[in-house]
C-alpha cells in the first residue's frame, strides 16, 4: 500500500511517501530561519510558508520515490495537536488530494506519528512497549499495549524536554533549536562542575511525571554567577538526561516492559541514547531525519492503523487533541 503523509503542525512542512511500511521519500522544509529573529514560531507566518512550499515538496517527494500521484492509495495528514492555522494547510490540502484522486483519507494524531517514526527501520517490532516522546512541545511517556492502544503513564508538569534545552540555550546565548547547540557545547564542559539538583521523582498517580523548569532556573542562576558556559551546558544536559532516563527505567521496571521507543527531537541527543543503552533495554530510535517533525511518520502511523476504512472528510482539525 502506497501512503502519502503530510505534517504541517508547527513550523516544518513535511511530505513523505511510504510503501508497505518502508519510507520511499521524506521531504521536509524547515522554517527555522524564518522564525529565528522573532525568538519563537509566529503562527501566521508559519501558515503562509506552508502554503508556499507544500506543492513543490509533494513534487519532490514523488520524484524521489519514483511514483506518480495517481499511484497513491491512501492520503494521510496530521489532524492535531498543533497550531491550528498551520495544521489546516496540510490537513485541507490532503483532503483535497484524496477527494480529487478518489482515494481514502486518514486523519493522524501528531504524537502517533512520532511513535511510529521510531519503528521506521523495524516494521517487524510488535507492541507491547513503552514509548518516550520528547520534543519541543511534548514530554510524554506512553505504554503501547497494541497498535492504536495508548496509555499515558506520565507527562511533563511544566516545560517539555526540548523546550528546556531551547530555553537554556537562549540563556547561554546559543542559537535555535537549542538541543544540538547544548549538546555541542556540553562536550567541552565538566558535567559535575555546576550543581544541578535532580528534579523530584513523583509518587502515586504522578509517579512518571517529568519536570524541567527547576533546571532552567538553576541554569539562569549559574549564568548570573558568571560560571563557565560549557560547564553549565554539560551539567544541565547530564541532569536532564538522568531525569528522563530514571523515570523511564522506573516505568520499565514497574510494567515489566523492556522495549522502549524513543522519539521526538530530543531522541537525537547522544547522551540520552548512551544512558538508555547502558540500562540494557531493547531500544528503537527513529532513523536520521525522522526524529523531528516529518511527513513519513504520519504515513507510517496511517499505515499501521489502516483498517480498510478512511476517515470522513468532515472531521475537523484540532489544535488540542488527546491521544
Binding residues (CB under 6 A) for ligand KG4: these are 10, 135-137, 162-163, 165-166, 177-180, 183, 264-266, 268-269, 292-293
- Is 293 annotated to bind a ligand? Reply is yes
- Is 56 annotated to bind a ligand? Reply is no
| Rounded-to-integer distance, Cα 189 and Cα 191, Å | 6
- Is 269 annotated to bind a ligand? Reply is yes
Residue from 196, 230, 293, 303 in contact with Zn ion (CB under 5 A): 293
> Hunting for cell 549538546 — which residue is that?
183
The option from Zn ion, ligand KG4, none interacting with 127 (CB < 5 to 8 A, set by class) reads none
| Rounded-to-integer distance, Cα 142 and Cα 151, Å | 5
The dihedral region occupied by 256, where left means phi > 0, alpha psi between -120 and 50, and beta the remainder, is left
Q: Cα-flanking dihedrals φ and ψ of residue 193, to 5°? A: -70, -35
First to last CA, the chain: 25
- Is 133 annotated to bind a ligand? Reply is yes
- Is 204 annotated to bind a ligand? Reply is no
135 binds Zn ion (CB under 5 A): yes
The option from ligand KG4, Zn ion, none interacting with 123 (CB < 5 to 8 A, set by class) reads none
Least Å from the CB of residue 263 to ligand KG4: 8
Least Å from the CB of residue 290 to Zn ion: 11
Least Å from the CB of residue 186 to Zn ion: 23
Alpha helices in the chain (DSSP H): 32-36, 43-65, 84-101, 110-117, 161-171, 178-186, 213-224, 229-255, 270-278, 296-305
Least Å from the CB of residue 169 to ligand KG4: 7
Pairing of the two strands 12-19 and 22-30: antiparallel
Q: Report the binding-site residues for substrate.
A: 133-137, 166, 179, 183, 269
Which residues here bind Zn ion, judged by CB under 5 A?
Answer: 135, 293
Q: Report the binding-site residues for Fe cation.
A: 110, 114, 293
Amino acid at each position: 500500500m502506497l501512503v502519502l503523509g503530510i505534517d504541517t503542525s508547527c513550523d516544518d512542512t513535511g511530505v513523505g511517501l511510504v510503501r508497505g511500511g518502508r519510507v520511499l521519500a521524506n521531504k521536509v522544509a524547515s522554517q527555522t530561519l524564518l522564525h529565528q529573529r522573532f525568538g519563537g514560531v509566529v503562527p501566521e507566518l508559519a501558515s503562509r510558508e506552508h502554503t508556499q512550499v507544500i506543492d513543490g515538496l509533494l513534487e519532490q517527494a514523488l520524484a524521489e520515490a519514483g511514483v506518480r500521484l495517481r499511484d497513491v492509495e491512501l492520503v494521510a495528514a496530521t489532524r492535531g495537536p498543533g497550531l491550528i492555522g498551520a495544521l489546516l494547510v496540510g490537513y485541507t490540502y490532503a483532503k483535497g488530494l484524496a477527494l480529487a484522486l478518489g482515494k481514502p483519507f486518514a486523519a493522524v494524531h501528531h504524537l502517533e506519528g512520532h511513535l511510529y517514526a521510531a519503528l521506521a527501520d523495524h516494521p517487524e517490532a510488535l507492541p507491547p512497549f513503552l514509548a518516550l516522546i520528547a520534543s519541543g512541545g511534548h514530554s510524554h511517556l506512553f505504554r503501547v499495549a497494541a497498535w492504536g492502544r495508548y496509555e499515558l503513564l506520565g507527562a511533563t508538569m511544566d516545560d517539555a524536554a526540548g523546550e528546556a534545552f531551547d530555553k537554556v540555550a537562549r540563556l547561554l546565548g546559543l542559537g535555535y533549536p537549542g538541543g544540538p547547540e547544548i549538546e555541542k557545547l556540553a562536550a567541552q564542559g565538566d558535567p559535575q562542575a555546576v550543581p544541578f539538583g535532580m528534579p523530584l521523582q513523583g509518587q502515586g498517580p504522578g509517579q512518571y511525571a517529568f519536570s524541567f523548569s527547576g533546571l532552567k532556573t538553576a541554569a539562569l542562576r549559574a549564568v548570573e554567577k558568571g560560571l563557565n558556559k560549557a560547564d553549565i551546558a554539560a551539567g544541565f544536559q547530564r541532569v536532564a538526561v538522568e531525569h528522563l532516563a530514571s523515570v523511564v527505567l522506573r516505568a520499565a521496571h514497574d510494567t515489566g516492559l523492556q522495549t522502549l521507543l524513543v522519539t521526538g527531537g530530543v531522541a537525537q541527543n547522544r547522551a540520552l541514547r548512551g544512558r538508555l543503552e547502558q540500562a540494557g533495554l531493547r531500544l528503537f530510535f527513529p532513523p536520521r531525519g525522522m526524529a523531528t517533525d516529518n511527513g513519513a511518520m504520519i504515513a507510517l502511523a496511517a499505515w499501521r492503523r489502516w483498517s480498510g476504512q478512511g476517515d470522513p472528510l468532515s472531521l475537523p482539525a484540532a489544535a488540542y487533541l488527546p491521544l
